[in-house]
Structure 1
Amino acid sequence: MIRFENVSVTYEGAAAPIVENVDLTVPEGELVLLVGPSGVGKSTLLSAVSGLVPHFTGGTLRGRVTVDGRDTRTHRPRELADVVGTVGQDPLAHFVTDTVEDELAYGMESLGLAPAVMRRRVEETLDLLGLAGLRDRPIATLSGGQRQRVAIGSVLTPHPKVLVLDEPTSALDPAAAEEVLAVLQRLVHDLGTTVLMAEHRLERVVQYADRVALLRAPGAPVLVGPPAEVMEVSPVHPPVVALARVAGWTPPPLTVRDARRRAAPLRERLAGAEPAREHLDGAQPVPAERVRAAGLAVRRGRIEALRRIDLTVTAGQTVALMGRNGAGKSTLLAALTGLVEPASGRVEVGGRTPHRTAPRDLVREVGLVPQEPRDLLYADTVAAECAAADADAGAAPGTCRDLVAELLPGVPDDTHPRDLSEGQRLALALAVVLTARPPLLLLDEPTRGLDYAAKARLVGVLRGLAAEGHGILLATHDVELAAELAHRVVILADGEVVADGPTHEVVVSSPAFAPQVAKILAPRPWLTVAQVEAAL
C-alpha cells in the first residue's frame, strides 16, 4: 500500500539530508509503527506519504514514494486526499472550521460525499472517539487532548485507505489514548485500513503494531521486523522492555500482562528490598511557598472550569498535575500566570496576585512553557532565540545556548525554529524560559514529542532545578514522567482536586495513572526501572 524506494529528503539550506536512502514497504491492512530518536526524520517520512514533502514543505525528494499505486512526485496532496488521511503533531494547524461537528464533516464535503452519508459518518465518529458531548463546542474552547481527538476524527470520516499519524496520543490522557488506539486497531482489523504511525510513548502503542520500523542515523538501513525483535535491540524502548533487559527476559514482553506472567522470580528477588526514593523523599522542601491557591474557582463562559481548588507548591518541590482531558489542568496553569482571572477564591505566586501583577514583574516569579511552544518563539534562528532570551533575562551571553545544548545536543545555531521537530521546539522553548531561572516553573505537557533519551535529559535538568529551590508544577499525561520526577501527584477531575499525595501512594492505587513498572510489580510500590535496577 505504501512504498518508499531509496528515499532521501534534503530541506532547503540544510547541509545534509534529514533522511537518506530509506527503503520501506507497508502492506495493506497493517499497522506499522515508526520509531527512532527525536529529529531522525520520522515526521518527514510521514509527510512524504501525503505529498506534503516536498510539494508543501519545499526541499528535494530523491527516490520514489508510492501510495496505492500513486506516485507522490506527480500527485499533489489534494490528489491524494481521498486515499490518505494525515494528522500531524500540531492539531491546531489541521483545523479549517470553528466547531467540532463542522470539522468532522469538512473532509467529506471536500470530496463531495452525499449529505446522508456525511451525517451517518459524523455520528459514528462522534461515538467512536467519545466526542458526542462536544459536537457543538467551538474548537478554540477545547483542551489540547480534545483537539487531538477531533483532528483524528476529521481524517477518519472520509474513510481513507491509509492513515498517517504523527504522535496521535501525545496530548491524550491514558484512557483516551487507549480508546483512540482501540479505534485504530478496529479500523486495521475490520476494515483493512493501513496505518503508518510515529509515536514516542511506546508504552502505549507498541503492543498494537503488526511491525516496527526503526529509523537510525541518516543513511543507515531501516530495521523492520516484529515488535519484540526490534524492541530487543532498539535504543528507544518502553519501560516494560527496559525492565525485561534488567531482569534478563528474552524476548522482551511488550504488555504489562505478559510481563506480570514472567515477573514472579523478579518479585521474589525484590521481596526484602525497598524502593529508593532519594530524589523524591530525601530532598525535603524548605517551607518557602512558591504557590498558594485557596478556594480557587475559574469560569470560562458558562463552563465552571475550576472550583474549590486548594493547592500549594513549596520551594524544591515538584508536583505533577494529572487528570483526563478537559479536567482543568491548563486552566489552573493559566490562573497561576494571570492569563485568566479567578471567579472566586485567591491565588498567590511569590506573594503576588497574578492577574493584578504586570507581566514584566510576574515573569521574575513564574515561567510557563505552554503546550504550543511556538507561542514563545519568534526569532529566525536558534542562536537569535537564545540571544534574545539571554537579553530578556539579564543572563550572561550563552546561558540559553548552553541549556539548549544540554537538552538538545547537536542542533545547529542557524536552524529556524519552525524546522525543528515538535520535541526539539519544545526543548528550545523550555531553555528560553529556564534562562530567567524563575522561582516557579510551570510546564504544560513537557514531554510531547520527546523520545526517552530527551526525556531523561529533561528529568535531570528539572531535578537539578528542584534541588536549587525552584518550585515545579507540571501538567502531564505522562505517567512515567510523574513516576520519575514528582514528589507529589495532584489529580483533577471536572475542575476539582480528587487526589493529592505522595507520588507512590497516588499512582500505585490508580489503574489509569500507574506507570508500567508499578502495574507489573504490584502491590509493592516500585515505580521505575531505575529503582528496580538499584535494588538488584
Structure 2
Amino acid sequence: MTAYESLGAAVRFSNVSVHYPESATPALTDVNLEIDEGELVLVIGRTGSGKSTLLGTINGHVPHFTGGRLSGRVEVMGRDIATHRPRDLADVVGVVGQDPLAGFVTDTVEEELAYGMEQLALPPATMRKRVEETLDLLGIADLRAAPLRDLSGGQQQRVAIGSVLTTHPRLLVLDEPTSALDPTGAEEVLATLTRLVHDLGVTVVIAEHRLERVVQYADRLVEVADGRVRHGSPAEILADSAIAPPIIELGRYAGWSPLPVTIRDARRAAAPLRRELAGAFPTVAEVAPPPDAPASPAPGVTARGLRVDHGRVRAVADVDLAVAAGSVTALMGRNGAGKSSLLWALHGTGARTSGRVHLADGTDPASLKPPQRRSRVGLVPQSATDLLYLDSVGAECDQADQESGQPPGTCSALLADLAPGIPHQRHPRDLSEGQKLALVLAVQLTARPEVVLLDEPTRGLDYPAKDRLAATLRRLARDGHTVVVSTHDVEFVAIVADEVIVMAEGEIVAHGPSADVIASSPAFAPQVAKVLAPVRLLTVDQVRAALPRNAI
C-alpha cells in the first residue's frame, strides 16, 4: 500500500513557499492544503495572484522547469515533487495549460490523442479504443483527421483536454480549460470532468476566471491572494472573496443568505426581488440598454457579400454587415461558426474569397499598407503572443509609441489601466495569458485606430480586469471608434455590448440590441438575466440602477 492509498490525499501541501529570483515577494507563502481523491477543486484569484504557480507545483513544473526555490513539501499521490520531476509523475497527473497550441506535439487530432499513450508504451489496441472513446466523449469525432493548426481556438482546447484524458490519469490539473469554448462546449467539457470525478474517482483541480461556468460543479474552492491560500465551500469563500461571479454579486447586493451558487437556487431566492422590480418598473426592459448607447447609426465598417473559404470549408458565407461607429458590437456563436475568419477579413489581412469591406470613408482595409492600416484598423488576435517579439514589456511599449507617433509613455499608461503592476523589465513570455493580452491590447490601442477588432479578449482576465477592459472599450466607443469583439464570454457581453451578432456555419443568424438577442437565448443569457427572467436586466449594475439598495 502506498502512502497515498493509506492517507487518502491526492495532493498535500505542507508549509510550501515559492520564491522566484526576479520577484521581491514570494509567489506562494506558507501554503498548507490537502486535496482528497475524487474531489473537484476550483482555484480562484486575481490575475497574477499565484494560481498558476500553485498548479505548477502539483506536476513538478514548479520549480523543476520554472526555476526559483520551493521550500516545504508537496506530495502528489504519495510522491515528493522534490525528488520526482514532471516525467516521473506523467502516469498519474495530466496537465492542460492555458495555450493549447503551445502544448501540441503532433499534426492531427488523432495523432495528438494517441501521443501521450505512446509515451507510456500502451498496447495499440488499448490506444485505439481510448482514442475512439475520447473523440465521442468530447464531441470531436468529425475532427479526427483535421490538422491541429486549422482548428478554432475552442476546438484546440477540446483536443488538448482529450490528449490528457486518453492516458487515464488519476489527477487532472487544468488551467483555464473553458476560456476558448462557447457556452455549450464549456458545459459539455465540465460535464465530462464531473463524470470523471463522480464515476471514476478522478481528482480534478481547475484554475478558472469564468467562475459563473464552474463554481456550481466544485466541491471546494481554493482562493489565492498575494501568494496566500484559504479554502472552504463555494458559499463560504465567495461570501467575501475579492472576485465573484454575477450570481454572487447579486446575492450580496440583495442580502441573500446563504449565498446561492446555482441558477436554480438563485431564482428561488430572487422571487421577492423579481416582484419588486416588476412592480417598480412595469417596462423594466427600458433600463437594459447602456446609458451611452450610440445616437447615430452611421456605419464605422461595412461588409458586402463577404465570403471566406478555407479549402473546402466555407467559413464566412456571403455576409452583409454594417457596424455602427461609436458602438461596441459583440460577435458570438459556437466554436467554428466563422467569427475569427470574419474578423480577419474585416481587418484586411485575412483570407477573402469574394466581397468588399469599407471603412467610414469607403477605404477597403485590404488596400492599405501595414503602417496605414495600423492607424485605421487594429486587431487583437486570440494568440496574443504572436504580436510580441521584444525582450521586455517596456521595450514593447516604447516601440508601440514610436510606430504610432504617440508621446512616450502612452502605451505604458494604457497598460497600467488595463493590468496594473506589470514590471516593465519583465519578458513578455513570462507574463500570464491575461497580462499578455492586456499588453497586446495596449500596443494596438496606442495607434488609436478608428476600428478596433478583438478576438476572445477576456481569456485569462479576472472580473476586475474585464471591468477595466469594458470601460476602455466604452470610452473608445464614446470617442467615435467602432469596436467589434468576438467572444464566448456572455457576462462580458452583458456589460459592454450595444449590439450582438450571432453566427452559425458562416452566416449571421441574429443581429440586434444586446438585451433582445442574449436575454432570450438559453445558451447566451447572462446569469442575472436567467435569475431575474422575465425581467430583462442583464447585469447587477442595471439592478442597482433600477432598484436602489434601500428599496430592497
TM-score normalized by the length of structure 1 = 0.98
Measured after TM superposition, the shift of residue 425 of structure 1 is: 1.1
Count of matched residue pairs = 534
Contact 2:299-2:325 within 8 A present in 1 as well:
yes
* Structure 1 residue runs without a partner (length 5+): none
What is the CA–CA distance in structure 2 between the aligned matches of 1:269 and 1:520, rounded to whole Å?
14
| Superposition pairs of residues 509-520 of structure 1, within 5 angstroms | 509-520=520-531
TM-superposed deviation, 1:287: 4.5
For structure 1, which segment, 336-345 or 31-40, has the greater mean C-alpha deviation from structure 2 after superposition?
A: 336-345
Structure 2 partner of 1:485:
496
Q: 1:88 to 1:247 in 2, by over 3 A?
A: same
Residue of 338, 341, 356 corresponding to 1:346: 356
Cα distance in 2, alignment partners of residues 197 and 378 from structure 1 = 30
Moved more, 171-180 or 270-279: 270-279
SS at match of 1:14: coil
Q: Which moved more, 1:338-347 or 1:293-302?
A: 338-347
Contact 1:99 1:135 in 2 (8 A): yes
CA distance in 2: counterparts of 1:530 and 1:211, whole angstroms: 28
Give the Cα–Cα distance (whole angstroms) in 1 for the partners of residues 99 and 71 of structure 2: 26
Counterparts of 1:290-439 in structure 2 under 5 Å? 290-350=300-360, 351-439=362-450
CA distance in 1, matches of 2:373, 2:323: 17
- 2:375 alignment partner, SS class: coil
Q: 1:268 aligns with which of 275, 282, 302?
A: 275
Task: Return the alpha-carbon distance in structure 1 between the equivalents of residues 292 and 443 of structure 2.
Answer: 29
Q: How far apart, CA to CA, are the structure 2 residues paired with 1:167 and 1:457?
A: 20
Tell me the CA shift for residue 314 of structure 1.
2.0
CA shift for structure 1 position 463: 0.9
Matched with 1:197 is 206
Aligned partners of 2:309, 2:333: CA distance in 1, in Å?
Answer: 18
SS of residue in 1 equivalent to 2:300: strand
1:35-86 C-alpha deviation (Å, 9 max, x unpaired): 0111001011111111111111222222221110111111111111101000
Matched, 1:466 2:473: no
Contact 1:276/1:531 (8 A) holds in 2: no
Residue in structure 2 matched with residue 76 of structure 1 by the alignment: 85
> What SS does the corresponding residue of 1:40 show, helix, strand or coil?
coil
Percent of pairs with identical residues: 61
Instruction: Find the aligned partners of 2:289 and 2:437 in 1 and give their Cα distance.
Output: 25
Within 5 Å, give how 1:87-106 maps onto structure 2. 87-106=96-115
Over 3 Å off, 4+ runs: 275-279, 285-288
Partner in structure 1 of residue 261 of structure 2? 254
Distance 2:355 2:82 in 1: 59
2:234 pairs with 1:227: yes
Q: Does the C-alpha gap of structure 1 residues 58 and 276 become closer, same or farther in structure 2, counting only changes over 3 Å?
A: farther
Q: Classify the secondary structure of the residue corresponding to 1:215.
A: strand
Structure 2: which 5+ residue stretches go unaligned? 1-9, 548-552
How far residue 357 of structure 1 moved from its aligned partner, in angstroms, is 2.3
**What is the aligned partner in structure 2 of residue 206 from structure 1?**
215
**Contact 1:275/1:532 (<8 A) preserved:** no
Secondary structure at the residue paired with 1:270? helix
SS of the residue corresponding to residue 21 of structure 1 reads strand
Matched, 1:528 2:535: no
What is aligned with 1:134? 143
1:364 partner SS? helix
Q: Conserved in 2, the CA contact under 8 Å of 1:280 and 1:487?
A: yes
Summarize the alignment of residues 42-81 of structure 1 with structure 2, pairs less than 5 Å apart. 42-81=51-90
**Paired residue for 1:450?**
461
Asked whether the 8 Å contact 1:34–1:198 carries over to 2, the reply is: yes
- Greater alpha carbon shift after TM alignment, 2-11 vs 316-325: 2-11
- The answer as to whether partners of 2:58 and 2:74 remain within 8 angstroms in 1 is yes
Post-superposition CA distance 1:297-331 (Å, at most 9, x none): 10001111110211111210110000000101111
Q: Distance in 1 between matches of 2:301 and 2:259?
A: 43
What does residue 502 of structure 1 align with? 513
Q: Amino acid of the residue matched to residue 332 of structure 1?
A: L
Q: Cα offset for 1:275? A: 5.2
Structure 2 residue identity aligned to 1:216? A
Deviation (angstroms), 1:11:
2.1
Residue 36 of structure 2 is matched in structure 1 by 27
What one-letter code is carried by the residue in structure 2 that aligns with 1:286? S
Instruction: Please give the alpha-carbon distance, in whole angstroms, between the structure 2 residues aligned to 1:113 and 1:148.
Output: 24
Task: Give the whole-Å Cα distance in 2 for the aligned partners of 1:242 and 1:39.
Answer: 22
2:103 maps to a residue whose letter is H
Instruction: Give 2:299's aligned residue.
Output: 289
Mapped contact 1:381–1:415 kept (Cα < 8 A)? yes
Letter in 1 for 2:327: Q
Structure 2 distance, partners of 1:527, 1:279, is 9
CA distance in 1, matches of 2:299, 2:90: 53
Q: CA deviation at 1:281?
A: 5.8
Shift of residue 462, structure 1, vs aligned partner? 1.0
Q: In the aligned structure 1, how far is the partner of 2:482 from the partner of 2:245?
A: 28
Query: What do the CA deviations read for 1:400-437 (whole angstroms, capped 9, x no partner)?
Result: 11111111112222121122111111111111111111
AA aligned opposite 2:161: I
Tell me the residue number matched to 2:452.
Answer: 441
Distance 2:20 2:38 in 1: 31
1:285 CA drift (Å): 4.3
Change in CA separation of 1:276 and 1:72 when aligned onto 2, cut-off 3 Å: farther
Q: Secondary structure at the match of 2:323?
A: strand
Q: Which moved more, 1:486-495 or 1:345-354?
A: 345-354
Distance 2:363 2:66 in 1: 45
Counterpart residue type for residue 175 of structure 1: T
Q: How many Å apart are 1:288 and its aligned residue?
A: 4.0
Question: Offset at 1:349?
Answer: 3.0
Partner of 1:181: 190
Q: Distance in 2 between matches of 1:287 and 1:509?
A: 24
Q: What is the rounded CA distance, in whole Å, between the counterparts of 1:285 and 1:388 in structure 2?
A: 36
**C-alpha deviations, 1:422-469, integer Å up to 9, x for none?**
111111111111111100000111110000111111111111111100
Root-mean-square deviation (CA), in Å? 1.3
1:204-260, CA deviations, whole angstroms, 9 ceiling, x for partnerless residues?
000000000111123x4x221111111111111110000101111011111111111
Instruction: Between 349-358 and 116-125, report the one with greater CA deviation.
Output: 349-358
What is the CA deviation profile of residues 490-521 of structure 1, one whole-angstrom value per residue up to 9, with x for unaligned ones? 00001100000010000011100000011111
* Partner AA of 1:303 in structure 2: V
1:376 is aligned with what amino acid? L
Distance 1:197 1:474 in 2: 26
TM-score by length of 2: 0.95
**Which residue does the alignment assign to 2:46?**
37
Instruction: Give SS of 2:12's match.
Output: strand
